[in-house]
Structure formats: C-alpha cells, structure tokens
Amino acid sequence: MPPTASQNGREVVPILDFGGQTAQLIARRVRDVGVFSLLVRPDISARDLRAMNPKGIILSGGPKSVYEPGAPHCDPAIFDLGVPVLGICYGLQLAAHLWGGKVAAHSRREFGRAQLHVESPNELFQGIPDRTTVWMSHGDQITDAASFFSPLASTPTCELAAVKARTRPFYGVQFHPEVTHTPHGIDLLRNFVFEICKCEGSWKMSDFAERAAAQVRESVGDAHVICGLSGGVDSAVTAALLQKAIGRQLHCVFVDTGLLRKGERTLVETTFRDHFKIDLHVVDAEKDFLADLAGVTDPQQKRLKIGHRFIEVFKHKAKSIPGATPTCLAQGTLYPDVIESGHGHSGQSAGIKLHHNVGGLPAELGFTLVEPLRELFKDEVRKLGAVLGLPDQIVWRHPFPGPGLAVRVLGEVTKPKLDVLRQADEILLEEIVAANLYRSTSQVFAVLLPVQSVGVMGDGRTYESTIALRAVETEDFMTADWAKIPYDILGRISNRIINEVRGVNRVVYDISSKPPATIEWE
C-alpha cells in the first residue's frame, strides 16, 4: 500500500482503479488543481482507505459490466466512511449495483460526445453551463435507482447522466470529466475536491522536494547511493534531488555508449560535475557497445545486447568507486511506470527497464532501490527539476530511447552511420529550437534509413542515404499525432541536412500517427 496521507501530512484523494483507460488522467487532473491523488487497488479495504485519511474518494471507469462474473468490486464499507465519493462511469454503476439498483445493457449505447442538460444544479456543477458537451463511453446504464439517487443531469439517451445519493455524500457521473473532450470536466473535478471535499489545494512541487529529500535521508541513513545518469530528465532530476538530500553519499555513473546525441557527454559532465558538484564517474564504453552490435539488425536483439552490456559496464564501475561501498541504487521510476508494471496498486517495486533504469542490477548486486520520483507524472518531474535548479535544456528536453541512436539507425549500427545521424539530428534540433517549436512538440528526432536513392549534386549523380524526420505531439505518449511543422521550416531543415551532412541526398517527413505507427521506428 502507498504511504498514507497521515504519514506525510498532505491532502489526498485516492482513486480506486477499475481498469479504465483514463484512470491515470483522473489523477493528473486532480493534481493539476493542487490536490495530491493516486491510484489504489479496487479491492482496497475501507480500513486501509481510512488510514490514508482521505479528503475524498473517486471510483474510476472500467471496461467490464458490473454484473459480469469476475467484474471488480469495491468494499461496500467505503461508502460509510463519511467522506465524499465520486463515481465515474463504471464507478457510478458499481455503487448503484452494490446498493441494490439495476444496471443493464441499454438499447442505445453512448460512445463519443453527448449534450448534457444540468437539471438540478448543485455544488458539483457550480459555474458549469446548464447545457454543455461531455464525453460518453458506455453500453450499460442504471435502470432502477430512484430510491437512493436524485438526478442532477441527463443526455438525450441517458436519464441519469449525473446523480447525487439521497442519504450519503456520493456523487456519480456517467460521462468522463477527466478527458479533454469534456470541456468543463476539469471544472467538475475542481468542484468535487474544493466545494464538496473541502480541500485546500496544498499540493506544491516545492513542498514535494523538501518532503522527498527528507524521506530519502530517512530511508538511506548512512548508506551510499549509486545513480545511473543518462542525460534524460528523469535520471537528471533523480540525481539533483538525491544531491540535495544526501550530498557526498551520492555517486553517479554515466556510461558513454557511443550511441548518444552530439554533445551529450559534455552536457552531463558540465551540469552535474561542474554545477551540482556531484561525484560523477564517466565510463567510455563505445568500442564494447559497437562490437556487440556488429552485424545485428533485429531491433529487439539490439536492445537486449545493449541492455546486457550496460549491466556489465555499470556493475564493474559500481564496484570500483573509491571510498564508497554503495548499497542503494537510485532509479528515475515514474508513476506511470509503476502503474503500467502492474505493481503500482500494491506498493511493490516497478518493473525495471533496460539500459537507463539499469535492468537486473538490484538483484545481481544486492542493492536496495531508491525511487524518489515514483509518485510523479512526467510533467511533474519537469516542475521538480525547475524547483531544484536544473537548466532548461535538461528539464525540457525530449525523451530519448534507452538504446540511444542504435534504434534510430535502421539495420546494422556502425560508427560512420552514427556520425551521419548525429549530424542530421543536431541540425534538426537546432532549427526546431530556432523556430521556437521545441516546447510545443513532444518529441523530435532524425532516423537514418537503410535506403539509398539516386540524386543529383552539382553535375554529378549521387546514390546516397535517406534521413527521415519524426516530430510528434502528445500528452501521454500512449497516443500521438504527427506535428504540423510549417513547410518553410521543414524546407530549411532538409536543405541544411543535404548540404551539410556528407552521405545524405534525400530527407523525408514521417506523417504517421500512433496508433497505428509507434513513435520510434524500432
């Protein structure tokens, strides 16, 4: 079970996760208005919930029907804790089902936008228009619950689109207020946490930094901690927070795999060794990684070989750090990692990713895991990085894959190919930054394709490589759309790459969305 609110002195609104695709979004939206929220198991006991001292409770949506065998249920005693409860979609139907109401498949299912009519305004709909658009995603409806629900709002095909319990502090909505397709959804959630739950909105990143640093000091004690730095925002913020918490007990290892972007090693050394005065150990392992990748073309084999080599290099370096016997391993595990690993609701450690999160090391070296960011979403990590004083170029940098450029060189990876890709990627990022598009795009990178084509340069025929440009916009990286970069900027990028990068005579732009494509090519 996660740390309780009473232990860390903050307001909390737990969310019982019944498997809905947007359960994480609920937590994000509640945090966005200044109240800490986290997902918990749907079968958490009322006793454990009470120990969290919640200001309110939210029941998420879910893919099943409440009357199906094996459908997740909650402890009915939750409704008797005396704190407000908001049921969303499945959460509303589950409350009706547990109280003896009828829930059944409806002849007219609702998937998509619907027009909501607020018939009985109360604190849940304060400041929300009487008629507004909401996002529906359900096939079941409550068909008999008049004895314990008062209707608040309806749609043309759903009489009980929003309700309030007659005798308990329970509110329910059949639509999804957490998605952007419900324009006033954030207002409804704000009303729930402030007007109904009486929260104060005390969730602040500066407070989190102090609290997290204190928790690290308490859990680590006199032990030394080793942290794998990748140059990415997650590991960078982890290192900065640990430096604040334990100072000289922290030892960072940066492995130069030879698969990094241009200037990556210099940026890490300048930031962490020179600015933060962190004990930084840099390992030059380019030859080993490239030797492992010789002749390898399968993307998964690339990842496995890189992960295995990284473990060997990291393990060797960790054992050789002078004057320290590290017993703890720090990782930049984030809240979505915890949830998606399947362990987030039981308090177990998240599944460890290859390469940057140093897969396999805790078991092999007997390390105790230190994961100070495991309660945070990506945007919150950036906010924490700013609070800790990290430079913008690290705080706001785009995600970079663990295997590095190896999965952006399609086919066999060689040093000449990496050098070509590094030059093209640097030009791309320079122009994106110059056009003030870096913050408005979520990820931008170049890919070297295993394709050569005919071209003309001067009066001569060329037969050279192709660079693909990829730029996407996304909120959560689960889905993404290609970024509509202005043609003149794309033209400038293309001209520079073809003119400045020897060996490239063609540039293409990837206009695929995720799904069906992935963001990375491999």
Instruction: With CA atoms as reference, report the closest residue to 162 among 144, 174, 177, 180.
Output: 174
Overall size of the chain counted in residues: 522
Catalytic residue among 176, 281, 345, 355: 176
Residue 254, φ and ψ in degrees, nearest 5: -115, 120
Give dist(CA 169, CA 95) in Å, integer: 12
Q: Is the peptide bond before 63 cis (omega within 30 degrees of 0)?
A: no
Give dist(CA 22, CA 300) in Å, integer: 29
In angstroms, how far is the first alpha carbon of the chain from the final one? 36
In contact, 87 and 59? CB cutoff 8 Å: yes
Which secondary-structure segment (H or E) carries 491?
A: helix 487-500
Nearby residues of 398 by Cβ (< 8 Å), 6 or more positions away: 438, 441, 442, 443, 444, 445
Q: What residue type is 514 in one-letter code?
A: K
In contact, 402 and 289? CB cutoff 8 Å: no
Catalytic annotation present for 176: yes
Q: ∠ CA 254-256-259 to the nearest 5 degrees?
A: 130
Give dist(CA 11, CA 132) in Å, integer: 30
Kindly state the tokens that stand for 487.
């043609």
Give dist(CA 216, CA 227) in Å, integer: 13
Q: Which residues of 323-334 are buried (b: 16+ CB within 10 A; e: fewer)?
A: ebebbbbbbbbb
Catalytic residue among 110, 178, 264, 371: 178
Catalytic residue among 11, 74, 89, 345: 89
Q: What residue type is 519 in one-letter code?
A: I
Q: Which of the 8 DSSP states describes residue 387?
A: H
In contact, 23 and 15? CB cutoff 8 Å: yes
Give dist(CA 164, CA 150) in Å, integer: 5
Q: ∠ CA 10-13-15 to the nearest 5 degrees?
A: 140
Give the residue numbers marked as catalytic. Answer: 89, 176, 178
